Structure 1
Amino acid sequence: MSANSADSTGQAARLEVVLVKAGRTKIRYEAELLGDDGTRIVVRAPWAGEGVRDFGFVRFEKGDVFTEHYWRDRWYAVKEVRDSAGALKGWYCDITRPAVLAGSELVVEDLDLDLWRSADGRDVRRLDEDEFAASGLTRTDPETAAAALAALSELEALAHEGTFGTLLT
């Protein structure tokens, strides 16, 4: 992946990741641009949430580092999650519209569905299907809903097959 990851002074290039959900900005945070090959954009950022987020099967907390992969032509984002010591926790995947890079903002629209794959690959789970159903997207925008469900199924199959890492190389 060719990377425009440093400016003319040698400093790491920065982007602001803007996660939009239901037409509103859910969160925005600064990230280091690691690479952009014209299709996939890779950034790294510390855990941007407030405090600890305990899902029961994984905890996101201060010191965690996310290496995030976004595509301009795919309906998902894959986030590798490591703890402060560098140990891999797993991958958190958001089902999204394809990412849009506008200047220094990377805008991603969250479509409510998520997937978790643990570091050892034994725990693969769909998340937030209830939120997706409640969003009414299948009724208001059936094409987008179908693309979101297909993306979730694709990621889940890759996670179970053990070929998940091929997305990130």
Structure 2
Amino acid sequence: MSSFRRMGIACVWRTIWSFTSRARRNEGRRSRCVCRAGRCSVCPMDDVRVLKRNLRGEVTWQYAGRILRREPNAVVLEAHFNLPDMPFLDTTLKRGDRFVETFYTDRWYNVFEIHDRDDDRLKGWYCNIGLPAVVDGDTVSYVDLALDLWVSPEGEQRVLDEDEFAALPLDETTRRRAREALTELQAAFLSGWRPPTAMGEA
């Protein structure tokens, strides 16, 4: 996400996320699914905290989200953009834009699907290359490796932050796995793959 910082938004991730008004209204019911069947894999459930870590394991940013779906190897959550509107690459991020984020415990990336606040129009996918996520109770954490991929709704791809990735003190295996993850993501999007939604497949 360092691309935002290069645009002059140095603290973008310090205040980027907030609970939805629906989440606030449902406070106290976070452990019940709306289908009244108890916990299930598709109904909104728990509030969670997402921790982004650096190579030393230090938390560089954290924010709250709401679980939409759990799978054996993935978790899908929702959060909302809460900064003033700002341009980003070929789109504009608006206060209230909906982010559907998929974190995998067996893949070296996570994917943020961004929807417009007004009409829920898809704006694109922001993909972070990093170590596989760790899901522990109400916490989702991952180690960010700087390398990012942006995919527009039309499928146009743009690799970001390659200079920062090159500067990281990574061992040969980690650097190779990160590059392989980027290649995997690029090929997946080219083939028509899309990350899961609350009702989708991981």
2:167 alignment partner in structure 1: 134
Post-superposition offset of 1:53: 5.2
Distance, in Å, in 1 between the alignment partners of 2:45 and 2:106 is 25
Note closer, same or farther for the CA distance 1:47–1:22 as it changes in structure 2 (3 Å cut).
Answer: farther
> Which residue in the other structure is 1:158 paired with?
188
Structure richer in strand, relative to its length: 1
Deviations 1:140-166 (A, max 9, x none): x111111100000111112223x222x
Counterpart of 1:84? 117
**Unaligned residue ranges in structure 1 (runs of 5+):** none
Partner Cα separation in structure 2 for residue 97 and residue 70 of structure 1: 10
Correspondences of 1:113-128 after superposition (within 5 Å): 113-121=147-155, 123-128=156-161
Which of 140, 156, 177 matches 1:147? 177
8 Å CA contact 2:112–2:125 kept in 1: the answer is yes
Is 1:36 the counterpart of 2:60? The answer is no
Report the Cα distance in structure 1 between the residues aligned to 2:153 and 2:158, rounded to whole angstroms.
13
Please report the TM-score for the alignment, with normalisation by the length of structure 1: 0.84
SS of the equivalent of 2:75 reads strand
The CA distance in 1 between the partners of 2:177 and 2:33, in whole Å, is 41
Q: Hey, which bits of structure 1, 4+ residues long, moved more than 6 A? A: none
The number of residues matched between the two structures is 158
* Residue 13 of structure 1 pairs with residue 43 of structure 2: no
Question: Kindly, what percent of the aligned residue pairs are identical?
Answer: 34
Q: Which of structures 1 and 2 has the bigger CA Rg?
A: 2
Match of 1:61 in 2: 94
Aligned-residue offset at 1:51: 4.2
Q: Aligned partners of 1:115, 1:108: CA distance in 2, in Å? A: 17
Deviations 1:45-88 (A, max 9, x none): 1126x545533323333111110111110000011101102110
Does structure 1 conserve the Cα–Cα contact (< 8 Å) formed by 2:52 and 2:61? yes
SS of residue in 2 equivalent to 1:164: coil
